[in-house]
Amino acid sequence: MKSAKQSIFQPDGDVLHITFLAFSGASIMCMASAVDPLRAANRVMGERLFDFSVVSVEGTPVATTCGLPVAVDGVFDAGARTDVFAVIGGFGSRLTSDKALLGAIRSASRKARATGGIEAGSWVLGHAGLLEGRAATTHWEDLEDFAAAFPRADVRPDRYVIDEPFFTAGGAAPTFDLMLHLVRSRLGMAVALDVASVFIYDETHAASDAQPLVSLGRLDGYDPRLASAIGLMEQHLDNPLPTSAIARRIGVSTRTLETIFARAIGETPGAYALRLRLSAARRLVLDTTEPMAAIATRSGFSSAAAFSRAFARAFGQPPGRLRQSLAAQPSMADRH
């Protein structure tokens, strides 16, 4: 294990020791995207060049968002030696405030050659004071709040950000891209392609690619003008563009744009834009404590009353009642 903090993203055939600190509420896809490409690289190479382990604060299994517990290798030990220390966060991680835990995370980071935050793990690093003056990202749903919470960080909408010795990733697919980048940097493109082929993963992204709100992926036959229109809708959630303005910006008639949406999605552009705004609002209702008036503004509604009516039509109950019903439910930790 190298003691100097030389870059982990450079050609190197030595074993890289990686410790993942996982929090309950993490996505099982984020956890798989972090560890499975490394496992596959070891298989491709025929030796364990990535020596990884998963730990938790209490040493108990981690309850993921889908309800499946993930076994861990042990309890988090800030004094343990490792080359890479990475935090995999999830729901609730953005509220991490335990001073002793944050101090232990700072200690583990000082000992490691590189420190990472995966999805909401970036919030944990931020609360530990590790991102001041650093470029960083998190999941696109939280970017605005993340930037407000950590004004001294250079928050970017990129899929993943490497500002050595720190790195952050915005979600499951960006984490997979990041791990492929790590494999490619250390072991070469041929090995990285072999790893991608294990998962039939054929669309890697650059770190600086923006995180889309709507991931069209590689849908067969989708019209690229659809992606452009949805991109404009995403950019103007708080101040929605008329369908005619969207059509004009992408160089088609309003009728043509309506035909594109009807064929691809089965909705009018206006109906889809409203659904996009309401989906964004629902995430804010469920995952934050923002006042409903603020959520209404961020979602492009003229008033809290108009927002509440539209929300109730879409989801069967007003936003305030939905938030109250969620608060009354047992937490994930209580259910497992």
Nearest by Cα to 284 from 121, 145, 147, 89: 145
Provide CATH 3.40.50.880 ranges for the chain.
Answer: 16-198
Nearest by Cα to 286 from 135, 102, 91: 91
pLDDT score for 17: 98
Contacts with 266 (C-beta within 8 Å, 6 or more apart), sequence order:
none
pLDDT score for 334: 38
pLDDT score for 107: 98
Position of tokens 């969207």?
A: 246
pLDDT score for 335: 32
Task: Please tell me what DSSP assigns to residue 210.
Answer: B
Strands 114-119 and 84-89: parallel
Burial of 47 per CB tally in 10 Å (0-12, 13-18, 19+): exposed
pLDDT score for 252: 95
Q: Which residues pair with 169 in a beta bridge?
A: 118, 160
Q: Is the peptide bond before 165 cis (omega within 30 degrees of 0)?
A: yes
**Category of 30 on φ-ψ map: left (φ > 0), alpha (ψ -120 to 50) or beta:** alpha
Q: Give the DSSP per-residue string, 292-329.
A: HHHHHHHTT-SSHHHHHHHHHHHHSS-HHHHHHHHHHS
pLDDT score for 200: 76
Provide CATH 1.10.10.60 ranges for the chain.
Answer: 224-328
**pTM score > 0.85 for this model?**
no
Question: Maximum CA pair distance of the chain?
Answer: 64
pLDDT score for 80: 96
Per-residue pLDDT of the chain (336 residues; tens, 9 = 90+): 665 578 999 999 999 999 999 999 999 999 999 999 999 999 888 899 999 999 999 999 999 999 999 999 999 999 999 999 999 998 888 889 999 999 999 999 999 999 999 999 999 999 999 999 999 999 988 898 999 999 999 999 999 999 999 999 998 999 999 999 999 999 988 788 888 888 877 666 666 666 665 555 444 456 789 888 988 998 899 999 999 999 999 999 999 999 999 988 888 999 989 988 998 898 889 888 899 999 999 999 999 999 999 999 988 999 999 998 877 665 443 333
Task: Please tell me what DSSP assigns to residue 112.
Answer: S
pLDDT score for 220: 43
Record: fold of 16-198 = Rossmann fold (3.40.50)
What are the structure tokens assigned to 53, written together? 């382990």
Q: Which CATH superfamily is domain 224-328 in?
A: Homeodomain-like (1.10.10.60)
pLDDT score for 243: 96
